[in-house]
Amino acid sequence: MIPGLNPYKERWHMQSDDVIKPGLAAIEEALVRLGNPEKQLQVVHIAGTNGKGSTLTFLEAIAQAHGLRVGKFMSPCIVDVHDQIQVDGQYMTVAEMDAVFQQMQEAGLSGVLTDFELLTVAAFLHFVTCDVDVALIEAGMGGLLDSTNVVLPMVSIIPSIALEHTQFLGNTLTSIAQHKAGIIKPSRPVIIGDLPNEAREIVVQTAQQQSAPLLTLHQDFDVLDKQYVHHLKHLYVPKLEPLMKGAHQVNNMALAITAFIEIAALLHIEIKQEAIQQGVRQAKILGRFEEILPSIIVDGAHNPASAEQLVATIQQHYPNEPITMVVGILADKDVKAVLQLLEQVSDCFYFVDFNNPRAMAAKDMLALSNAAHKEIVEDYVWFLQQQSAARATTIVTGSLYLLTDIRTNLQKKGKNPSS
C-alpha cells in the first residue's frame, strides 16, 4: 500500500493492483500510449540492497550545487506518495499529481498497472513536464524485472547487494545479484560499491557482456582522509564533510561523486570542487540516523546489512553510552539476525506494533529477543516524548514504515520532527 495514492485513483477513476507483479510488459505498453516520456529524460538508475536513497540524495545535492534541475523518484515514502517524486527537493503537489493522473486516465491506463507501476509512470510524466536536467530513479525491488528498468540510463549505480525479498529475487546472493545487475545497459557506465565476492562476479560478468565500463569503489575511486580520489582520471576533491553520519555514508558519497563525474562528461558540465563540497555538506535524508526530537534518533535499518551499519554508527557516535532501542519490523525480514546485531549496543529493547499488514507482532519480536530488559510499549509516541524529556538516547529502527507512522503522529501532536 502506498499512503496517499488511493484518493487520486478514486478521483480519476483509475484501477490498479496493490500487489507486486515483476515484469516490464505492462509498463512498457502503458508508456507507449503516453509517447514514451522515459525516453525524453537523462536518467541515473540505481539498484541495490542498502545505500540507494543516500547515494541518490548525495548525487541530487551535488548536481543541484552545479545548477542542474534534478528530479528524484524514491521508495518507500517518508510520509505519503507526494514525497516519493521530487523536483529540486520539492515534493509533488496535489495539483501536479492530479495533472499526471489526468494524463494517465486519458491514455486508458486504468486496470493496466500495479500501484508502483502507476507511480513510476507518474514520475516520468512529472519529470518531463518539469523539464529536469537529470532524473534520479531508484528501483523499487530488484532491478531486472522492476518497473523502473524501462529506462536507458546515462549511468547505473549498485551500492550494495545482500539477501532481501527472497520470495521474489531468490534466496542466494547470486540470484539477487542477477536481478540487481539487470539495470546495467549496453555501453553505459556502472558504478559499484563493496559487494560480496559472489555478487560482484555476477555484476562484473554482466558489465562485460554489455560492454559497460565498470567503476569500483576502493579500486577505481575512493575517499581517503576526507579527500575524494578518482584514480583513473587523477581527479581530487579535498575537505569533504558529509552531514550524514556513518562510515557507510562516506562510501555512498564516493559513489555519488563518481556518478556526477560521469554525468558532467556526458552533459558537458564543468566540475567544481566547491560545488561538490557544498553538495555533500548539505545532503540529508529523512530516516537515516536522523534526530527527530532531542536524544531520539530514527534509522530505517531493516535487514542485517543495514543493522550492521547502524551498530557501527552508534559505536562511533555514542561509545559507552546506554542506548534504548525501539523496534518495529516487517515479518518478511530476517528479524532474528537484526535483533542479534542491535543487541551488541543495547540491552534495553521496547517492541511496538505499527500500521502495516506485513508488520511482525510486537509479542513475536519480544520472543525472539535476547535482551536483558525487553517489553512491549503501546503508545510509542508518548514513550519517545518521555525519553526525549529525560534526554535518554533512544534509537528507533526496523522499518521505514514505522518511521513514517512516528513522524505523522508527532506532527498530529504538534511536535515538529525534522523535515
Tens of pLDDT, residues 302-345 = 889 889 989 999 999 999 899 999 999 999 889 999 999 999 99
Interacting residues of 138 by C-beta distance below 8 A, sequence separation 6+: 46, 47, 52, 53, 56, 72, 73, 74, 75, 148
Query: What string of DSSP letters covers 392-407?
Result: --EEEES-HHHHHHHH
419 found inside a domain: no
301 found inside a domain: yes
Phi then psi for 188, rounded to 5 degrees? -100, 130
- Shared domain for 124 and 258, answered yes or no, is yes
Kindly tell me the burial class for residue 33, based on how many C-beta atoms sit within 10 Å of its own C-beta (0-12, 13-18, 19 or more).
middle
- Shared domain for 404 and 355, answered yes or no, is yes
- Shared domain for 155 and 205, answered yes or no, is yes
pTM for the model stands at 0.85
Residue ranges in the chain whose pLDDT is less than 50: 419
Q: Which of 282, 312, 347 is the endpoint of a domain?
A: 282
CATH of the domain at 340: 3.90.190.20
The predicted structure's pLDDT at residue 216:
98
29 found inside a domain: yes
Amino acid at 158: I
- Shared domain for 318 and 357, answered yes or no, is yes
418 found inside a domain: no
Place of cell 537515516: 288
- Shared domain for 256 and 154, answered yes or no, is yes
Question: Nine-digit cell at 222?
Answer: 575512493
147 found inside a domain: yes
The residue segments making up the domain with residue 297 are 290-412
Interacting residues of 206 by C-beta distance below 8 A, sequence separation 6+: 178, 181, 182, 184, 212
- Shared domain for 166 and 298, answered yes or no, is no
The predicted structure's pLDDT at residue 111:
95
Judge whether 84 and 136 are in contact, CB under 8 Å: no
Beta strand 90-91 pairing with 221-224:
unpaired
- Shared domain for 258 and 295, answered yes or no, is no
- Shared domain for 266 and 325, answered yes or no, is no
Query: What string of DSSP letters covers 41-109?
Result: S-EEEE--SSSHHHHHHHHHHHHHHTT--EEEE-SS-SSSGGGGEEETTEEPPHHHHHHHHHHHHHTT-
- Shared domain for 102 and 192, answered yes or no, is yes
Interacting residues of 80 by C-beta distance below 8 A, sequence separation 6+: 3, 4
70 found inside a domain: yes
Q: Which of 254, 282, 310 is the endpoint of a domain?
A: 282
CATH of the domain at 167: 3.40.1190.10
Task: Report which DSSP code applies to 235.
Answer: E
- Shared domain for 189 and 294, answered yes or no, is no
- Shared domain for 247 and 351, answered yes or no, is no
Overall domain count for the chain: 2
386 found inside a domain: yes
Beta-carbon neighbour count of residue 312 at 10 Å?
16
- Shared domain for 262 and 340, answered yes or no, is no
Percent of the chain with pLDDT over 90: 81
Q: Which of 224, 259, 282 is the endpoint of a domain?
A: 282
417 found inside a domain: no
